[in-house]
Amino acid sequence: MTGTTDERPAPRRSTRFRLTVLGCAVLPLCFAGWLGWQALAGDGPARAADTSSAVPPTSDVTFDAPTAWPTALASATPSPGGTASPATTAPGTAGHPLTGRTVLLDPGHNTGNGRHTTEINRQVDIGNSRKECDTTGTSTDSGYSEAEYTLDVSHRARALLEARGAKVVFTQDGDRAWGPCIDERARIGNDAHADAAVSVHGDGAPASGSGFHVIMPAKVTAGKADTSAIVAPSHRLGLLLRDSFKAATGEPYADYIGEQALDTRSDLGGLNLSRIPKVFIECGNMRNSGDAKRMTDPQWRQQAAQGIADALTAYLTTPAG
């Protein structure tokens, strides 16, 4: 036979081979019978425990005691499929402190206002006077508009607030051709029965000025305006917003507002007509080169949103006084 393939015929089985096979078949039966006799004698459980150590473990999770759940499963519950699923967080817990709360975010102006001058120049009643429905807002020297800025920061703040459990209402979400008018902006928050509101803006002050400031409502009781009930809570919200915004962004207080970045005004329809605690924030002066550089930076805008969300969270979760 040539080649490397082994094609030799199988060897004939001898009598000794047949006895060997028979022994291999009988011995396990005898051993099984002996184990049964040991179990009846009372030694079975102990010996079963001894043999378990020879079985490879199916998990690397160890137990300190027979009744202790491993740490990795302590916060899990079995699902219908038999696998562990994370335990759910109950509403209103630390992970969702704003559950059940409604927040109004008012992104100032609208990118379409410039194409609808007739509509936005219409006068509306703000209680103690009449003002334009809305304005075009300002922009940086490079053309980044206030309306773009306010909507972007509001979107970022909404994501943060919703992650904390809040329901967030917008006055406009880039879904309107222009406006809404300042009286409607106030009405949207009132109709939503929001717990608090922030109107987001960028200032258009002289280029020499820089920094941010917060605007709070003065007491106005004239015509359909009555801010009596919201002046005090709005002031508390304003203080929290000022401190949170500075902590989040590092932006200095406006150097052209002489009241430590706090301004109280009676000529803003969005405040005069509000029935819920509400403030404005001018996040910086878009006409100032330093402020404009920061406000056009997406990372800084995320910090601005963080400051706004943190202030609203503190306001809604911290008792007054």
Enzyme catalytic residues: 282
Return d(Cα 228, Cα 23) in angstroms, integer.
Answer: 102
Long-range contacts of the stretch 190-195 (C-beta < 8 A, 24+): 190/273, 190/274, 190/275, 190/276, 192/102, 192/104, 193/102, 193/276, 194/102, 194/103, 194/104, 194/169, 194/276, 195/101, 195/102, 195/103, 195/276, 195/277, 195/316
Burial of 292 (0-12, 13-18, 19+ CB in 10 A): buried
Contacts of 202 (CB under 8 A, 6+ apart): 108, 137, 138, 146, 149, 150, 282, 283, 284, 285, 286, 295
Instruction: Compute the distance between CA of residue 271 and CA of residue 186 in angstroms, rounded to an integer.
Output: 7
Q: What residue type is assigned to position 70 of the chain?
A: P
